[in-house]
Amino acid sequence: MATLAQARPRTRPTAATPRRPVLRHLGPNWYAAVMGTAIIPNAGAGLPFHIPGLPVLWALSLALLAGLLVARAGHWLHHRDQARGHLLDPTVAPFYGCLSMAFLAVGIGSLSVGADLIGESAAVPLAWVLYGLGTLTGLVAAVAVPYLMVVRHDVAPGSASPVWLLPVVAPMVSATLGPLLVPHLPAGQAREAMLLASYAMFGMSLLATLVILPVVFSRLIHRGALPLFLTPTLFLVLGPLGQSTTAVNKLADVAAGSIGAPYASGMSAFAVLYGVPVMGFALMWLALALAMAVRAARRGMGFAMTWWAFTFPVGTCVTGAEGLARHTGLHAFDWLAVALYALLVTAWLVAGFHTVRGLVNGKLLAAPVKK
């Protein structure tokens, strides 16, 4: 007589209940959602009126960063082949710059609004940790990604994209957080070193942008509009423009107590002489990008994670306008910041809604459809 174990049919759990790789297609582009959320309180803190709830939004960005770091660690642990594939993909690798900017954007918020929630004694050390992580990963990405594009990636002629700016703009965000940490350093050599290191990262990012941006514009002129799902990436050009304007104004804020008088006054003048024309170009590019986005929407542009490009770059223009308002005293810059902030919040609400819906229905983490 057969035993109960022998009589029972054998099943194969792996075949009957297939395991869904939830994290397999979680790429580094998801850090853009952290950046887009963190810029809301960062930009809102500098407006000419008080906005309630900004520390809560900063806490949300911190939670998103922590959760995404865990998820991405799981991605590297369980889907290493896919993670390596992302590094070798010229369309995905530049998004590793978003990791750095996510650290730094949350770090800026730690000092600007986070102290109201967790206290300065916790906010300052947290900002230092995020600055260190963000600056280190940003400098690595700024070198490693262009290196991979030269020696490993198969980049087709005429395929330049605004996404190429992501790894090189990360040090510019470090140049913005650095000045916020200067007052927390001892006077003298330490403050001057942080100030000039921030200026060096400003220059590094700015000159790299000036190399890449003409290539991107040439691609648009000679090859036509970007594919519909990539159209929002046109807003990424605003990132180095707004962030550099923000950086020079933040650096000017702390120059007087960090470096000698001739240089301190020169930095204050440079903040306006550089920031005003760059903001003018940013507004021109914003109009162009908006026109292209409307065109793409009329042609059926569906939601993709690229929609988060509508958030952080616009937010950097808000903080840039706020800095110019401080240093010029012109109310026109205050009103410009308010108008851009309204656009920023609208974009964040739309991108956030579609992201949550895509997570719930599983479409955003599904395997890309092969055409």
Please determine, for residue 241, whether its predicted confidence score (pLDDT) is greater than 50: yes
Residue 6 scores a pLDDT above 70:
no
- Tell me the chain's radius of gyration from C-alpha atoms: 22
Distances (CA, A) of 13 to 9, 175, 202, 306: 12, 53, 55, 38
Burial profile 147-184: b = 16 or more Cβ within 10 angstroms, e = fewer:
ebbeeebeeeeeebbbbbbbbbbbbbbbbbbbbbbbee
| pLDDT grade for 231, boundaries at 50, 70 and 90 | very high
pLDDT confidence band for 83 (50 / 70 / 90): confident
Residue 4 confidence (pLDDT): 36
Q: How far is CA 40 from CA 36, 88, 133, in A?
A: 7, 32, 21
Contact between 236 and 166 (Cβ < 8 Å): yes
Closest CA to 248 of 309, 205, 312, 311: 205
Q: What is the pLDDT of residues 281-298, one digit of tens each?
A: 999 999 999 999 999 999
> pLDDT tens digits for 299-352?
999 999 999 999 999 999 999 999 999 999 999 999 999 999 999 999 999 999
Per-residue pLDDT tens digits for 123-173: 999 999 999 999 999 999 999 999 999 998 888 888 899 999 999 999 999
Relative orientation angle of helices 331-361 and 31-44, to the nearest 10 degrees: 150
Q: Tell me the pLDDT tens digit for each residue of 10-33.
A: 444 444 434 457 788 899 999 999
**pLDDT confidence of residue 58:** 97
Write down the pLDDT at residue 25: 85
- What are the tens digits of pLDDT across the range 178-223? 999 999 999 999 999 999 999 999 999 999 999 999 999 999 999 9
Please give the pLDDT value at position 5.
40
Average pLDDT of the chain?
92
| The pLDDT of residue 370 | 55
Euclidean distance between CA atoms 119 and 185, whole angstroms: 18
**Dist CA 114 CA 109 (whole Å):** 6
Q: Where are the alpha helices (DSSP H) in 165-260?
A: 166-181, 189-223, 238-255
Contact 231, 293 (CB under 8 A): yes
Helix (H, G, I), strand (E, B) or coil at 356: helix
pLDDT of residue 369: 61
- Does residue 368 carry a pLDDT above 80? no
